[in-house]
Amino acid sequence: MRPYQLWISFYTMLRKDIVRMFRIWVQTFLPSVITSVLYFTIFGTVLGSRIGEMQGVDYMTFVVPGLVMLAIVTTSYANTSFMFFASKFFARSVDEILVSPTPPWLLVGGFAAGGVVRGVLVGALVLIVSVFFTGLSLSIHNVLVIFGFAILTALVFALAGLVNGIYAKSIDGINIVPTFILTPLVYLGGIFYSVHNLPDWWQAITYANPLFYLVNGFRYGFLGITDIPLSVSLAVLLGMTALLATVNWYFIRTGLGLRQ
């Protein structure tokens, strides 16, 4: 395929996913917004007022970047894992793309892009909701870091969701990973606390959690504070992107989990 045809194929995949997510916006956008309202109410207003400050900032302000990141991570992951699994398992409509000359790397890119769009849009909605709870007091330290980390994080988890969607053999297969792996990683990734408040042994475990690096980088963009250097966070993010993109490409190219 020529570059223009590759672009058309990519655009088709992305457009189709965006049309779908807006058609069923009650399922794709609303749940994360409602969940974030609950988090802001409970952890911010109710508990946050008792906690006071974290790393020198108001607890509600501290927790906002983490909650936005939580929404991006879970949404981008769910979008690709379910989208791909549904197209493979229910109607087998993924064959529409598999029989076409669309190369495997572009198929990975097309599905991941849908996850990125939904993840970033939901993140933006949660950020808007946070304004009502923080009273416009949320600071912005570096816009570029905020956007960069939001997009890269959505990409990483969209790619992770795609691995899950490709390899899952039943509907349970796409629920197990978010429930038993993703959720613990998210909650232990420093969304609600600073790693410096933890005992040494727990700090050591937290450093092995990839979510910790993403939340810290994102929080740095808003507050200018971080538990670890920004370059380390970025390196972890880029490394995960490269690894997951390669795994997905390999799965599609060889048909692992897809072709008999």
Partner 1 sequence: MPTPALEIRDLKKTYASGTVALKGVSLTVPVGDFFALLGPNGAGKTTIIGIVTSLVNKTSGTVKVFGHDIDKEFEKAKTYIGLVGQEINFNPFEKPLDIVVNQGGYYGIPRKEALPRAKQLLTDLGLGEKMREQAMALSGGMKRRLMIARALIHEPRFLILDEPTAGVDVELRRSMWDYLRGITAQGVTILLTTHYLEEAEQLAKHVAIINKGQIVGAGTMSEILAMHDEEKAKKHAYRGGKLEEVFLQLTSEPEKSSV
Q: Which residues of the chain form contacts with partner 1 (CB under 8 A)?
A: 1-2, 4-6, 8-9, 11-13, 15-16, 19, 87, 91-93, 95-103, 254-255, 259-260
15/141 with CB nearer partner 1: 15
Nearest approach, Cβ of 157 to partner 1 (angstroms)?
24
Q: Which among 190, 105, 119 has a CA at the least distance from the CA of 152?
A: 119
**Which positions ≥6 away from 31 have C-beta within 8 Å?**
none
Give the Cβ contact number of residue 187 at 10 Å: 14
Beta bridge partners of 54: 57
9/81 with CB nearer partner 1: 9
Nearest approach, Cβ of 252 to partner 1 (angstroms)?
11
Nearest approach, Cβ of 116 to partner 1 (angstroms)?
19
C-alpha–C-alpha distance, residues 66 and 191, integer Å: 4
C-alpha–C-alpha distance, residues 231 and 213, integer Å: 10
- How many distinct helices (H) and strands (E) make up the chain? 13, 2
The three-state secondary structure class of 54 is strand
197/254 with CB nearer partner 1: 254
Nearest approach, Cβ of 173 to partner 1 (angstroms)?
17
92/196 with CB nearer partner 1: 92
Structure tokens at 80: 């690709």
36/80 with CB nearer partner 1: 80
Nearest approach, Cβ of 258 to partner 1 (angstroms)?
9
184/255 with CB nearer partner 1: 255
Show the 3-state SS of 174-216. Answer: HHHHHHHHHHHHHHCCCCCCCHHHCCHHHHHHHHCCHHHHHHH
Nearest approach, Cβ of 33 to partner 1 (angstroms)?
23
Establish how many alpha carbons lie within 13 A of residue 106's alpha carbon, considering only the half-sphere containing its beta carbon.
19
Q: Letter for the amino acid at 96?
A: E
Interstrand relation of 57-58 and 53-54 (parallel, antiparallel or unpaired): antiparallel
